[in-house]
Each structure stands twice: as structure tokens, then as C-alpha cells.
């Protein structure tokens, strides 16, 4: 008998978990990587910035994992709609939830429901062509845009808003986003952080890129920077990132038409406007024991777009334990949720780390299965899933179908771009099947 595993989610966490299972059991394991979309790769496809193509090269590793004997992609299958966790536990020896954290955390301030206020998952999904967000109404008619958050996603959003069409044309940004950005009136981008440069979580590469944009200048207020001697206490990577911020503060305002303004020590308190977002109200803060404390001083930032880059939540699954406060599944240190049920990636630890951080997650989950003594039990595995989905008239896709989609996207690419992503699932299915 072969050991069978169902992995829900065809993103980095899912593929690294599959790779770990292959390394441990070899051809004695069969693996179904199940995803609700006909396309694999999760945030590599729909989350990594389109102008960071080198990062997306990791998909070749995932492709090799998917092409190994006994492993297959089962696309267009939604957990909860087409099959339940309990049904999967009855079909496979182990089930791993690698579903990521696709839901934006709400800002939680007055006016955050006004038109023009969006979460970063939606905004990034819009320009990256995720089917859930391709139809997002993005109004760039106002000169200002405010981005709440001090992580790399905030810088990604700022960079996309600030780049010229020519800078973006050779990427895999979607055509609809490129057209909207080409007509953008945004000239003042504000990146809002409650604390200061030393607490920001930008990486050196992300921060440094802002100094090389054709039409945009990053601006840091010198008064927001701590004494240079304090940088010595930072780790080398963070210290180098802060060095970029210091260099931005030392450059006089030039003639570039777009500014990227780092608004450190600002806490958002309200979004205001007549029927839509027109300004973000922020409160000046200062640090007490490393925490941002409001001073009562308020300031209005004119903007027609507010993007919240403050974190993500995993979607709860009926009948599966869920930690509401954490926004993810409750697991032990090895990723266990319940007997035979595990989680890896953001669904296990929350939205943190890099793409590669998911790899040790996958290997620890497989180690937990071994420690738990889970072995081949004679459950029907993939054949059982096929029979169940067929009985429900669920149309599924496989990796060959994805390769057809990919070929169609490459063929439709504008000159110099790697692909033009399909954003309609119905069209994807027509090509894949």
C-alpha cells in the first residue's frame, strides 16, 4: 500500500510540504495538491510584485515537485464547496492545510468602509490578475494615495503606483492594471507607519529600489531618524535598510513629479470624505518602551486611495478548529491541528517570513506525521477523491491543463513582457480542458 496525503493549497507552503514528503517516502507516497483555482503557485503568481520576476523563478522548483511520480495537481476544487475536511480525512492518510492567509485584516477605524479604501491583498491581486480581485474598481483620479503599513508589501504598492508605464510594461502586470496606472493622477504617495525607521520591517532591497525610480523621489523627514549612532544596535540587514532611508533624507527635493513620502510616527485614526475617501486623518505618535503612543496632534493627508498593508487572515473552514484572535488555525509547534490534520505556511504561523520560510514548515509537518506514526492504511486516496468529485459533477484540472493556460498567457504577452495573465476562471477552464 502507498501512503496518501492531500495538501490543500498549491502555493509555496503546499509545494514545500509535498517536496518534504517526496524526500521522506519517495515513490511510496501519493500526493494530491488541491487548489480552488486552475492555476498553481499561489502568492508567487498573485502576490509577488510583477517587477520582481527573478523571485518567481522558484516556480521551476515547484514544477519539478509536481512532475514527480505519484504527485498531481487537482485544480478548480474548493474546500468547503466541493469537498469537506472530514471527507478528505476519510480518503487520505493525512491532510495538510496550506491555504495561506488570503483575507485582509480590517483597519478598524471610522470611514474604513468608504469607496477608495482597499486591503493590500485586493490591490495586489488586482494588478497581479488574481481572479478574485481582477474586477476591483481602483480610482486613481486623486493626486494623493496613502498606504498604511511599514512592510515590504507597502513598498511594493508604492512602487507600482509610482513607476512609469515603460518601467512596468516589461513585467507581468495585467493589462487592465497597466492601463489604469497609465492614466493615474497620483503624484503624492504616503507610506504610513505608527513607529519609526528602526521599527520598520522593509528589507534592504525593497527600500533601495525606491532610489532608482524614473519619475519618483522617496522623501524621509530628517527629524524622524534616530541618531546615527543608534544604528549600531541593529542587525546588519536592518542597518543597511536604514542607511537607505538616511540617504533619502539627505537628498534635496528634485524635479521628479511623484513623491513617495515616508510618514513615520503617524497613526491612522479615520478616513474622511463625501461618499468616498478624500483624506486620511493621522495622529502623531512617539515611542514609549518601543510602543507607539498618540500625542493628540492630528494631521490630514489628502488622498483618494487608502491601501491597508497591515496583515492577513486565513479563511476559517467549517468544522475545523480556528483561532479567531490569531486569524489562523491553532497548531502546535510542529503544525498539528487534530489527528491526521496539519497546517503549513501562513495557515500555520500567520503571514510572516519570506517564500523560503515555508520550506522548514513543510519538513516539520512531515516529521510530525512520522512521529505520529501515520502510515498507509488502505484509504482510497486520489481514486476516492476522483470518484467523489465525479459524483458531484465537479470539473477538475491537472498540471497539463495549467501548462496549456501558461502557454496561452505567454502567447498573449505584450512585447517584452513574460505573459498576459488570464483573470477569468471560465476562460482558464476552456483552455485547460
Look up the CATH architecture of domain 3-101+314-432.
3-Layer(aba) Sandwich (3.40)
Give dist(CA 100, CA 95) in Å, integer: 15
Q: Find the mean pLDDT for residues 402-431.
A: 97
Q: What percent of the chain has pLDDT over 90?
A: 93
Q: What is the mean pLDDT of the chain?
A: 95
Q: Find the mean pLDDT for residues 323-346.
A: 94
Give bridge partners of residue 259 from the DSSP assignment. Answer: 188, 217
pLDDT for 278: 97
pLDDT for 382: 97
C-alpha pair distances (Å), 225 with each of 147, 233, 237: 20, 14, 17
CB atoms within 10 A of CB 120: 24
* CATH class, 103-308 region: alpha beta
pLDDT confidence bin for 354, thresholds 50/70/90: confident
Numbered ranges of CATH 3.40.50.720 in the chain: 3-101+314-432
Adjacency order of strands within the sheet including 336-338: 71-74, 29-34, 3-8, 94-97, 341-343, 336-338
Query: How do residues 10-48 score in pLDDT, each as one tens digit?
Result: 999 999 999 999 999 999 999 999 999 999 999 999 999
pLDDT confidence bin for 164, thresholds 50/70/90: very high
pLDDT for 305: 98
Q: CB-based burial of residue 53 (10 Å sphere; 0-12 exposed, 13-18 middle, 19+ buried)?
A: middle
Q: What is the DSSP letter of 355?
A: G
Supply angle C-alpha 60, 62, 66, rounded to 5: 115
Numbered ranges of CATH 3.50.50.60 in the chain: 103-308
E-strand ranges in 277-422 read 279-288, 291-302, 305-308, 312-313, 336-338, 341-343
Query: How do residues 85-112 score in pLDDT, each as one tens digit?
Result: 999 999 999 999 999 999 999 999 999 9
pLDDT at 1 over 80: no
3 state SS of 190:
strand
Give dist(CA 13, CA 285) in Å, integer: 37
Query: How do residues 105-126 score in pLDDT, each as one tens digit?
Result: 999 999 999 999 999 999 999 9
Amino acid at each position: 500500500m502507498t501512503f496518501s496525503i492531500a495538501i490543500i493549497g498549491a502555493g509555496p507552503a503546499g509545494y514545500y510540504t509535498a517536496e518534504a514528503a517526496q524526500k521522506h517516502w519517495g515513490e511510496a507516497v501519493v500526493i494530491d495538491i488541491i487548489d480552488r483555482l486552475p492555476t498553481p503557485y499561489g502568492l508567487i503568481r498573485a502576490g509577488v510584485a510583477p517587477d520582481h520576476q527573478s523571485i518567481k523563478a522558484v516556480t521551476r522548483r515547484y514544477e519539478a515537485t509536481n512532475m514527480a511520480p505519484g504527485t498531481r495537481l487537482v485544480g478548480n476544487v474548493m474546500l468547503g464547496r466541493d469537498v469537506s475536511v472530514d471527507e478528505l480525512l476519510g480518503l487520505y492518510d493525512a491532510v495538510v492545510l496550506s491555504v495561506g492567509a488570503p483575507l485582509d485584516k480590517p483597519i478598524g477605524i471610522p470611514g474604513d468602509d468608504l469607496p477608495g479604501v482597499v486591503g493590500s491583498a485586493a490591490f495586489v491581486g488586482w494588478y497581479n490578475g488574481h481572479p478574485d480581485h481582477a474586477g476591483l474598481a481602483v480610482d486613481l483620479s486623486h493626486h494623493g494615495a496613502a498606504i498604511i503599513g511599514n512592510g515590504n508589501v507597502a513598498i511594493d504598492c508604492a512602487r507600482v503606483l509610482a513607476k512609469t508605464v515603460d518601467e512596468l510594461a516589461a513585467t507581468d502586470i495585467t493589462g487592465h492594471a497597466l492601463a489604469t496606472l497609465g492614466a493615474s493622477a497620483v503624484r503624492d504617495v504616503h507610506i504610513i507607519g505608527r513607529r519609526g525607521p528602526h521599527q520598520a520591517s522593509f528589507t534592504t532591497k525593497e527600500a533601495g529600489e525606491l532610489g532608482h525610480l524614473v519619475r519618483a523621489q522617496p522623501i524621509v523627514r530628517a527629524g524622524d531618524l534616530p541618531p546615527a549612532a543608534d544604528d549600531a544596535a541593529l542587525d546588519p540587514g536592518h542597518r543597511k535598510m536604514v542607511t537607505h532611508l538616511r540617504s533619502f533624507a539627505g537628498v534635496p527635493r528634485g524635479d521628479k513629479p511623484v513623491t513617495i513620502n515616508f510618514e513615520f510616527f503617524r497613526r491612522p485614526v479615520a478616513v474622511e470624505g463625501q461618499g468616498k475617501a478624500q483624506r486620511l486623518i493621522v495622529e502623531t505618535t512617539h515611542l514609549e518602551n518601543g510602543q507607539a503612543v498618540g500625542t493628540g496632534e492630528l494631521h490630514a493627508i489628502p488622498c483618494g486611495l487608502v491601501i491597508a498593508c497591515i496583515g492577513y487572515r486565513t479563511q476559517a473552514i467549517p468544522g475545523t478548529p480556528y483561532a479567531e484572535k490569531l486569524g489562523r488555525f491553532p497548531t502546535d509547534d510542529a503544525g498539528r491541528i487534530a489527528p491526521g490534520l496539519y497546517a503549513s505556511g501562513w495557515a500555520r504561523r500567520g503571514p510572516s517570513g519570506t517564500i523560503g520560510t515555508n520550506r522548514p514548515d513543510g519538513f516539520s509537518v512531515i516529521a510530525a506525521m512520522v512521529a505520529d506514526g501515520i502510515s498507509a492504511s488502505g484509504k482510497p486516496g486520489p481514486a476516492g477523491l476522483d470518484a467523489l468529485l465525479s459524483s458531484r459533477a465537479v470539473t477538475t484540472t491537472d498540471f497539463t491543463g495549467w501548462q496549456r493556460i501558461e502557454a496561452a498567457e505567454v502567447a498573449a504577452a505584450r512585447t517584452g513582457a513574460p505573459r498576459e495573465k488570464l483573470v477569468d476562471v471560465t476562460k482558464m477552464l476552456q483552455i485547460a480542458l
